[in-house]
Structure 1
Amino acid sequence: MTTPQPSDPFAAAQGAPVPQPEQKKGGMLKKIGGFVVLVIVAVAVKVGLPHLTGDAPVHAEVNDCVTVTGPENDPKVDTQDCSSGKADLYKVLKVVDNTFDVNKCDVGEVALAQQLNSDKFVLCLDPVKKA
């Protein structure tokens, strides 16, 4: 007569029971939930973070005063009080929507192409004279 061999000879030799694979409950649900949380965080960062840090683009209107800072290929426009006396203060003379064509501004005006979300526009600016 032969003795049946255990599936794990080492476990049988040590007298320990053979471990069974664990059943994962809700594994797929956790993966889907994690993905949904990741998407929500990504959207919140994309939409909300620039507004919280003050880096959101500005769509200035005619007669607003703005300062322009940053590099020429990525200028930052911030609205200001026209009487603030800040250096590099400009008054918006005209806003040309749906274009990046800086030639839409008149000669002598400073032209600045901008994009805010899917809106593209050109600001035609005139330096504010200090009193």
Structure 2
Amino acid sequence: MTTPSAPLTPEQQPAAPAPVKKGGAALKKVGGVVVAIVVALAVKFGLPFLTGDTPVHAKAGECVVVTGSDNDPKVDSADCSSGKADLFKVVKVYDDTFDVNKCAEDSEQALAQQWDADKFVLCLNAVKK
């Protein structure tokens, strides 16, 4: 007959397995990607509308105020009788083009604008105060 072995000391006990994580890191990674996509879509489609950075596609006869630099003009709709500085009346609109030379006979100035696939040229005359 054999004698039973002595009980194991705490140093001899097998280590307990580490707790299993249930996809927490993967869920955080997917959540981060989803947040990045939502932010990108908000910037692309929502932010310009909220900040008013969308080009004004005015019609002939309407008035606009043009501010900003020549390389980055800002166009806002305006009342033709407002007397604002930089007030212009839209003489003609050419859609689906950037050819500002089309305005040569119609107006004093031309302004090409684009918003996504929508591109157009506004032919403008300054409104006299």
1:8 corresponds in structure 2 to none
**1:18 positional shift:** 4.1
User: Secondary structure of the residue that 1:67 maps to in structure 2?
Assistant: strand
TM-score, normalising length: structure 1? 0.78
Give the alignment partner of residue 102 of structure 1, picking from 93, 100, 105: 100
Q: Cα distance 1:26–1:126, how it changes in 2: closer, same or farther (>3 A)?
A: same
TM-score, normalising length: structure 2? 0.79
Name the CA distance, whole Å, in 2 between partners of 1:69 and 1:12. Answer: 79
Task: State the identity %.
Answer: 64
Q: CA RMSD in A?
A: 2.3
1:39 corresponds in structure 2 to 37
Counterpart residue type for residue 72 of structure 2? D
**1:46 positional shift:** 2.1
Unpaired segments of 5 or more residues in structure 2? 1-9
Moved over 6 A (4+): none
**1:19 positional shift:** 6.1
Q: Cα distance 1:126–1:19, how it changes in 2: closer, same or farther (>3 A)?
A: farther
1:73 corresponds in structure 2 to 71
Unpaired segments of 5 or more residues in structure 1? 1-10
User: Secondary structure of the residue that 1:31 maps to in structure 2?
Assistant: helix
1:111 corresponds in structure 2 to 110
1:24 corresponds in structure 2 to 21
Name the CA distance, whole Å, in 2 between partners of 1:70 and 1:102. Answer: 18
Name the CA distance, whole Å, in 2 between partners of 1:71 and 1:20. Answer: 66
User: Secondary structure of the residue that 1:115 maps to in structure 2?
Assistant: strand
Name the CA distance, whole Å, in 1 between partners of 2:91 and 2:16. Answer: 78
The alignment of Structure 1 onto Structure 2 pairs a total of residues equal to 118
Deviations 1:89-112 (A, max 9, x none): 000011101111110113342111
The farther-off stretch of 37-46 and 74-83 is: 37-46
Q: Cα distance 1:12–1:45, how it changes in 2: closer, same or farther (>3 A)?
A: farther
